[in-house]
Structures are given as C-alpha cells and as structure tokens.
Amino acid sequence: MPFPRDIRDLALVKSHRRCCVCHEFGGRSVNVHHIVQESDGGANALENAICLCLRCHAEAGHFNSRHPLGTKYSPTELKAHRDQWWEHCENHPDEPLGLFLDVRFKAISRTAEVHRYCLIITYTNTMREAQDGWKLRVCFPSFLPLFPGDYDRCEIRLDGEPYVQLESSSNDRVFPGESIEVVTRDVHFIEYEVNDNVHRRLRLEHKVTWQFFTPNAPVIEGEKSLSELQEF
Ligand SMILES: [Zn+2]
C-alpha cells in the first residue's frame, strides 16, 4: 500500500521536494520511499517516509543481498539522512530552490583501443521566474584530450596546475520548472587511446570545476574529481 496522500504531501513539503540523500531537486521525479519496506513490517507513517530522487531510490532499493557489491543503505542510515535534511529545510525555509546543476560524464563509445566520453550538464530552473540566458564556465586539467566543439577556450592555472577553461553562453529563456542541457550530449569532451597513459592519470584526483551564471539567481559553483564524475 502506498503512503496516504497527507503523509506523502507532508514528506514532500518537509524535504522541499529534494532528495534526502543527495539533496538534488527532484521535481516530478522525486519518490516517497519506505525506509523499512512494508514487507518487512514498515508502517505507512511519516516516521517511515523518505524522499529520494530516482537515482538514489534505485540505489537504495535494488541492493541484491545475494550479490553484495558496494555498501548497502541501511534503514538507520536512511533515517539519519532524512532527519538531517528535514532539519536543514526547517532552518532554511527561504533558501532558493533554483540552484540545481547536474554534471556527469557519459561513455559514448568504448572500444578496445579508444574511449570516448561526453560531458552532460543539465540545469533545472526551480526559481519562480524565468531566466533570460545563462553562461557556463567549466575547467578541465589540461592533460585531458578535449574535443569541446564550439567553446571559447583559454589556459588558466588552478592550485598551480595547468587547466583549460571553456566558456559557453546562451540568450535562450529558461522557464520555471524547465530542464535544459547546458552541454549537450553530441559534444565529445574526452577521447583517448586506452594504451595511452592519459587513461591512468584519469584515475587520479584531478578535478573538473564549473560555474553557472544566470541573471537573477546566485552563481552555482562546484567541482568534482574526475573519478567521481565517472564512468571511467
Ligand atoms: Zn538522490
């Protein structure tokens, strides 16, 4: 049985419709999940409810105990994430919900000789107003063989290391609730031969950094190590 409507609504409001584990804004794809499954005696009560995005929901729900791989999400851990996030939401009721940028690499072809990845950056406008245009700045370690297409490019240094900074912008309007691909999946960002030592360096803690500017919201800034951006 699913949660009663009022419990579901309350869980969604208390979480700001964000995932309690990764804190990404879920919009319509957020799930209200049972912390302890009903088949294990979990109640349809607020105490047993957690909002999760699709990715975390799949991660938490599809752990196969016959083939344990990775670290299982325990009910205690999920509950702690939930309580921590609800407390944060309660203490920051006015925090703008608009700061949502999803950054990841996707493998587009992997043969025995050559690996090719694209960078996918998706922005969701969760503000109440439309945004007239945006600008993206993204920096990669300069040893990466980049094929960035139509970007303004310059060399910079970050923490003393050589980086390449790419910049792109658009005047297109982004409506409230709309998600756009800021970097589209037809741009190849990294391509290397598997035998090349680039492959080994990718596993080190080199990072990718980004800044995303819109006219009426704070700058979204972030960085991740190449290994976190996966799928290498
Ligand atoms: Zn999540």
CATH label of the domain that carries residue 198: 2.60.40.10
pTM exceeds cut of 0.75: no
Same domain, 123 and 48: no
Question: Residues 166, 152: contact at Cβ < 8 Å?
Answer: yes
The helix/strand/coil state of 11 is helix
Q: Tell how far the Cα of 19 is from the centroid of ligand 1, in angstroms.
A: 5
In order of 1, 46, 56, 60, 68, the CA distances from 40 in angstroms are 13, 16, 20, 15, 19
Q: Tell how far the Cα of 101 is from the centroid of ligand 1, in angstroms.
A: 13
Q: Tell how far the Cα of 60 is from the centroid of ligand 1, in angstroms.
A: 10
Q: Which domain holds residue 140?
A: 100-229
Between CA 45 and CA 3 the distance in angstroms is 7
Same domain, 87 and 105: no
Q: Tell how far the Cα of 107 is from the centroid of ligand 1, in angstroms.
A: 21
Run of H or E residues at 8: helix 5-14
Same domain, 119 and 44: no
Same domain, 194 and 131: yes
Q: H/E/C letters for each residue in 46-87?
A: HHHEEEECHHHHHHHHCCCCCCCCCCCCCHHHHHHHHHHHHH
Question: Residues 147, 164: contact at Cβ < 8 Å?
Answer: no
Report the pLDDT value the prediction gives residue 71, as an integer from 0 to 100.
73
Q: Tell how far the Cα of 157 is from the centroid of ligand 1, in angstroms.
A: 33
Same domain, 189 and 211: yes
Q: Tell how far the Cα of 224 is from the centroid of ligand 1, in angstroms.
A: 16
Q: Tell how far the Cα of 1 is from the centroid of ligand 1, in angstroms.
A: 23
Q: Tell how far the Cα of 23 is from the centroid of ligand 1, in angstroms.
A: 6
**Last residue in a domain, options 70, 91, 112:** 91
Number of domains in the chain: 2
Q: Tell how far the Cα of 72 is from the centroid of ligand 1, in angstroms.
A: 15
Per-residue pLDDT 10s for the chain (232 aa) are 789 999 999 999 899 888 999 887 777 778 899 999 898 899 999 999 999 988 888 888 765 455 556 677 889 999 999 999 999 888 877 665 546 788 877 778 888 888 888 888 888 887 778 899 999 999 988 888 777 677 888 999 988 889 999 998 999 999 887 888 887 656 667 777 777 676 666 666 788 899 999 988 888 888 887 777 665 4
Same domain, 113 and 225: yes
Same domain, 79 and 105: no
Report the pLDDT value the prediction gives residue 232, as an integer from 0 to 100.
46
